[in-house]
Amino acid sequence: GTVFRAEALGKVYQTGETRVEALRGVDLAIPAGEMIVLLGPSGSGKSTLLNIIGGLDRPSSGRLFYHDTELTALGDRALTRYRRDNVGFVFQFYNLIPSLTAQENVRLVTDIAADPMPPEEALALVGLAERRDHYPAQLSGGEQQRVAVARAIAKRPGVLLCDEPTGALDSITGVRVLEALARAHDELGATVIVITHNVGIAAMARSVIHFRDGAIARLETNDNPVQAQ
What beta strand segments (E) does the chain contain?
A: 2-15, 18-31, 35-39, 61-66, 69-70, 87-90, 159-163, 191-195, 207-212, 215-221
Residue 16 binds to ligand ADP (criterion: CB under 6 A): no
- Could you give the CA distance from residue 2 to residue 191 in angstroms, rounded to a whole number? 10
Least distance in angstroms from the C-beta of 44 to ligand ADP: 4
Distance CA 52, CA 66 (A): 11
- The yes or no reply on residue 15 touching ligand ADP (CB under 6 A) is yes
For residue 13, state whether it binds ligand ADP (rule: CB under 6 A).
Answer: yes
Rg of the chain over Cα atoms, rounded to whole angstroms, equals: 17
CA 114 from centroid of its chain's CA atoms: 20
19 binds ligand ADP (CB under 6 A): no
Pick the binder of ligand ADP from 20, 112, 199, 203 (CB under 6 A).
20
Task: State the nearest-atom distance from the C-beta of 11 to ligand ADP, in Å.
Answer: 8
* Shortest distance, position 62 Cβ to ligand ADP, whole Å: 15
Taking the C-alpha atoms of residue 138 and residue 99, their distance in angstroms, rounded to an integer, is 11
Q: Which is nearer to ligand ADP, 117 or 181 (CB)?
A: 181
Q: How far is the CB of 161 from ligand ADP (least distance, A)?
A: 12
Task: Report the alpha-carbon distance of residue 184 to residue 160 in Å, rounded.
Answer: 9
Half-sphere exposure of 116 (CA within 13 A, CB side): 22
- Looking only at residues 36 through 55 of this chain, which bind ligand ADP when binding is defined by CB under 6 A? 40, 42-48
Q: How many CA atoms lie within 13 A of 195 on its CB side?
A: 23
Assess 136 for contact with ligand ADP (CB under 6 A): no
Q: Give the x-and-dash track for 158-177 against ligand ADP (CB under 6 A).
A: ------x-------------
Closer of 177 and 188 to ligand ADP (Cβ): 177
Contact residues: ligand ADP, CB under 6 A: 13, 15, 20, 22, 40, 42-48, 164
